Structure 1
Amino acid sequence: MSTSRLIPVVLIVALVLYGAAWRHLHDERDVFLQENYMDYTLPSRVTGPAAMEFKGIVSDFLFLKVITFLGEKIGKNEQLGVRHFNYLEESVNTITDLDPYFWDAYLFADMLFTWELGEYKAANKLLLKARQYRTNDYRVPYYLGFNYFFFLKDNINGAKYLMEASKLPGSPYYLASLAARLSAYALEHRTGIIFLKEMIRDTENERIKNDFMLRIKTLEIMDRLEQKVSEYQKNYQKQPSSLTELVTAGLIDKIPDDPYGGEFILLENGRVYTTSKMVRQK
């Protein structure tokens, strides 16, 4: 066979082999994505020695793996449960054992554990771990303070950590006065708004920013409604039995829609709440 005829044959064979190899790799990738992420996470006592001087690189890889896993679950609209939380907690612990200064991993876990999973103690445990290493980073005690105030309703510890944050380099000027005020009063919606706006400035993740903006919008509605409840009490010397009475009294045109898909309701103590609990309704 001449060389001119041999070249096309070789090219065809090469293309067939390439196609078969690509299909095999694609199938293997699917198996990896489906099975590898949820099997287990090797503890740092194993990955640490194995990583040798490449702990930072391994930590980055594991963090990317966790982000990919979570992205797939969110993309499929899957509900996160106990098994997912255990996997995520073990993974972030391993990541931050390898690189204890890795702020993105701490922040990711704090956002996920508090807002999505309700695992406040686990979030604070990781932040306390970060506090041992990031000693001059005001964000660590800042987020601890927010968690205690907003989620755990613990004003004493919340004020303590905010005061600590206010003394560190780069902290917002208002932290000290905010901590002093919140040490005496229960958290209000407007205070949550202040915290969330600061958090938006602190993250570059667009998904997290959008989540925060939606929460701010919801909290602002709840805050305005509570102001109208106070106005109603002042005008009629009694508390309205429901938000509908604010409409009847002409204080609002209608009960606003909850951006999360729930309904705003008036509690017996005069606070406005939402049935969605600020979680997107399906």
Structure 2
Amino acid sequence: MASMLSCSSKALAVAIAGFLLFATLVVLRGPSPPPKRPGVSDRIVISAPVQVLLAGGDPFLAADFEAIRAAATAEDSADSEANASFRIRAHRVVAQLNPCHEDNYYVANAMLSWGGAPTEGLEVLRRATHCRTWDEFPPFFLGFNEWFFNRDAQKARQAMELAASRAADSQQAATLKRIGVMIETGEFADQRVALAFLRQEKTRATDERLREMLDRRITRLEGLITLREAQARYEAQMGRSLKSPQALLDEKFLDALPQDPLRLGYEFRDGQFRLREVKIPGMERKR
């Protein structure tokens, strides 16, 4: 009996010593950092052929599934690169499965083109333009973006001419042709038209989260317009080209540089302010 009590006492002593050691280590280590919020960089986009198999061989059904998933899970957050990467991959796959998918090219134009990934947005629009031979809107967006982001007046006018040839209304066709001519002659107020387009898309959107995401893009474009208009006032009054954004602050043309709600910012390149594009490792753009 005494032997059994002795063993129990030793086991209790060992347990207490172990607990004290554990408590000491916890105290010495300090407070644990809060767990990280799960990121979105691990969101998988299955390749188009595999999605077709999962959809029973129906590429159109697979495209619908992926478009719904992209709309339901995409978001704007501080982790813009991860979200942009997901959107790019998702919209690309939908365009491969069904390049005619209307929601895909509309959403891709708004979310990718104006969310820091214009090159990828153009890819989706080219596929939609080739597929939707009856629809004037894909070539219109394609032409507009070729001008706004790439400053390629020739490609922009070609796309506008194509959009005009598809327009059912003769007045609309004439308007599209006129836009093409204005782009080529440098008379097109591109950023104002883009702003009107995004505001219209926000009005039409029924999903509250999509409206919030579009609102950030509207604010981002308004910031670009503010910078370009300040540059125009500076060059008109000072009689010289703007060399640095800092000059707008030094000469009191702006009290502060506008903040981009997408946290991508703006860049001053080749004497002009532009929307900065998102940089995604492994998905560098080929110019």
Q: What do residues 47-75 of structure 1 show as CA deviations (whole Å, max 9, x unaligned)?
A: 487155xx65543322112223423xx45
* CA distance in 1 between partners of 2:84 and 2:244 (Å): 36
Matched, 1:67 2:71: yes
Matched, 1:150 2:148: yes
Deviation for aligned residue 1:151 = 1.7
**Higher mean C-alpha deviation, range 240-249 or range 202-211:** 240-249
Aligned equivalent of 2:163: 165
The answer on whether the counterparts of 1:196 and 1:216 sit within 8 Å (CA) in structure 2 is: yes
The answer on whether the counterparts of 2:143 and 2:157 sit within 8 Å (CA) in structure 1 is: yes
Matched, 1:175 2:176: yes
Deviation for aligned residue 1:152 = 1.9
Among 212, 216, 225, which residue is 1:220 paired with?
225
Distance 1:215 1:177, change over 3 A: farther
* CA distance in 2 between partners of 1:37 and 1:263 (Å): 25
Deviation for aligned residue 1:103 = 0.8
The answer on whether the counterparts of 2:55 and 2:61 sit within 8 Å (CA) in structure 1 is: no
* CA distance in 1 between partners of 2:116 and 2:241 (Å): 34
The answer on whether the counterparts of 1:101 and 1:134 sit within 8 Å (CA) in structure 2 is: yes
Matched, 1:38 2:38: no
The answer on whether the counterparts of 1:92 and 1:109 sit within 8 Å (CA) in structure 2 is: no
Aligned equivalent of 2:100: 101
Q: What do residues 128-154 of structure 1 show as CA deviations (whole Å, max 9, x unaligned)?
A: 322233222221101110221122221
The answer on whether the counterparts of 1:255 and 1:264 sit within 8 Å (CA) in structure 2 is: no
Aligned equivalent of 1:17: none
The answer on whether the counterparts of 1:244 and 1:255 sit within 8 Å (CA) in structure 2 is: no
Matched, 1:50 2:56: yes
Deviation for aligned residue 1:158 = 0.7
Distance 1:222 1:163, change over 3 A: farther
Instruction: Output the aligned Cα RMSD.
Output: 4.1
Letter in 1 for 2:117: G
- Between the aligned residues of both structures, percent identity stands at 14
Deviation for aligned residue 1:210 = 0.8
Letter in 2 for 1:255: D
The answer on whether the counterparts of 2:70 and 2:90 sit within 8 Å (CA) in structure 1 is: yes
Task: Determine helix, strand or coil for the equivalent of 1:43.
Answer: helix
Q: What TM-score, normalized to structure 2? A: 0.61
Deviation for aligned residue 1:191 = 1.5
**Higher mean C-alpha deviation, range 201-210 or range 155-164:** 201-210
Distance 1:159 1:112, change over 3 A: same
Deviation for aligned residue 1:108 = 2.2
The answer on whether the counterparts of 1:43 and 1:90 sit within 8 Å (CA) in structure 2 is: no
What runs of 5+ residues in structure 1 fail to find an aligned partner? 1-32
The answer on whether the counterparts of 2:227 and 2:257 sit within 8 Å (CA) in structure 1 is: no
* CA distance in 2 between partners of 1:35 and 1:243 (Å): 33
**Higher mean C-alpha deviation, range 131-140 or range 111-120:** 111-120
Q: What TM-score, normalized to structure 1? A: 0.62
The answer on whether the counterparts of 1:41 and 1:87 sit within 8 Å (CA) in structure 2 is: no
Distance 1:195 1:176, change over 3 A: farther
The answer on whether the counterparts of 1:138 and 1:166 sit within 8 Å (CA) in structure 2 is: yes
Give runs of aligned pairs for residues 201-280 of structure 1, distance below 5 A: 201-202=200-201, 204=205, 205-234=210-239, 238-239=240-241, 252=253, 254-260=254-260, 269=271, 271=272, 273=273, 277=276
Structure ranking higher on relative contact order (CA contacts 8 Å, 6+ apart): 2
Q: How many residues align?
A: 229
Task: Determine helix, strand or coil for the equivalent of 1:116.
Answer: coil
Q: What do residues 151-206 of structure 1 show as CA deviations (whole Å, max 9, x unaligned)?
A: 22211001111222234136486432221121133x87x41221331343245241
The answer on whether the counterparts of 2:164 and 2:173 sit within 8 Å (CA) in structure 1 is: yes
Distance 1:233 1:278, change over 3 A: farther
Deviation for aligned residue 1:217 = 1.3
